[in-house]
Amino acid sequence: MNKVYSFFLLLNLALYQGNAIDIALPQTMEEAVPELVLVFTKTEGFRHENIEKGVKTLRELGRENGFIVLQTETSEDFNTENLKNFRLVVFLSTTGDVLNDVQQKAFEDYIRNGGAFMGIHAASDTEYDWPWYGKLVGGYFAGHPQGTPKAKINVVDKSHPSTAHLSDVWERTDEWYNFKNLNPEVNVLLNLDETSYEGGTNGENHPFAWYHEYDGGRSFFTGGAHTKASFDEPAFRQHLLGAMEWCLGRK
């Protein structure tokens, strides 16, 4: 893709998505074109009221770190020609059946051609009848206790950029998902300590963030981010940034 075409592609995408105000485009044609990240927020079930705050946060991280975040709730954007423009696709608290068979196939091809996926929170409450997606995201939502209690998270792997900044135990408030159909091939980063709160059903093995290479691409998932306050936490923002940079192949 030549630089002139890339520049105008960014401009057209920004205008199409209504995000032109939020995007810092290259000053000259000689500058490197920033990586594009597509954030998908369609919901066919429960809709988290913090989705807009999450999108705003991801855009801020992009502006501060040299990538461009575009948001969509349009399933038709999942086609081969559009997806090939993006280095990373983020499912931000999507719920339910959000893609049809043709769109699912386009996304599978995107991953198989080296694309990257990042799931946040209710991305695990999505597409229960699409087994490939279940393996990609790494597990499905299986309920949660009432409220958003404080709990302890054991950081089991600090070698990943999403966790390198954390201490051995991370204590925070959130909605603590239980999971089913966990993919045993993922690399677990965070393990929820069920003795620190009530309502956990996974036992000692309660992964809460993980990553893996899957079917030709990269995949990362974090169970956090139910609350709006999550996106104001410096440690959680760094957790998201490190995950995105890993998905982009920077680290």
Question: What mean pLDDT is reported for the chain?
Answer: 91
For 109-121, how does the pLDDT look when each residue is reduced to its tens digit (9 = 90+)?
A: 999 999 999 999 9
**Secondary-structure percent of the chain, ordered helix, strand, coil, rounded to 5:** 35, 25, 40
pLDDT at 193 over 90: yes
Residue ranges of domains in the chain, CATH in brackets: 34-247 (3.40.50.880)
Q: Does 188 score more than 70 pLDDT?
A: yes
Position 8 scores a pLDDT of: 41
Separation between Cα atoms, residue 172 and residue 234, nearest integer Å: 12
C-beta atoms surrounding 67 within 10 Å = 20
- For range 123-151, the mean pLDDT: 97
pLDDT of 16 strictly over 90 = no
SS3 32: coil
Q: Can you tell me which residue has the tokens 């993922």?
A: 186
| Separation CA 209–CA 214 (nearest Å) | 16
Residue identified by tokens 């909605």 is 175
CB 65 within 8 A of CB 238: no
CA pair distance 140, 183, nearest whole angstrom: 9
Is it the case that residue 249 has pLDDT exceeding 70? yes
Q: Is the pLDDT of residue 184 over 50?
A: yes
Nearest CA to 14 among 75, 81, 78, 85?
85
pLDDT at 7 over 60: no
The confidence score (pLDDT) of residue 95 equals 98
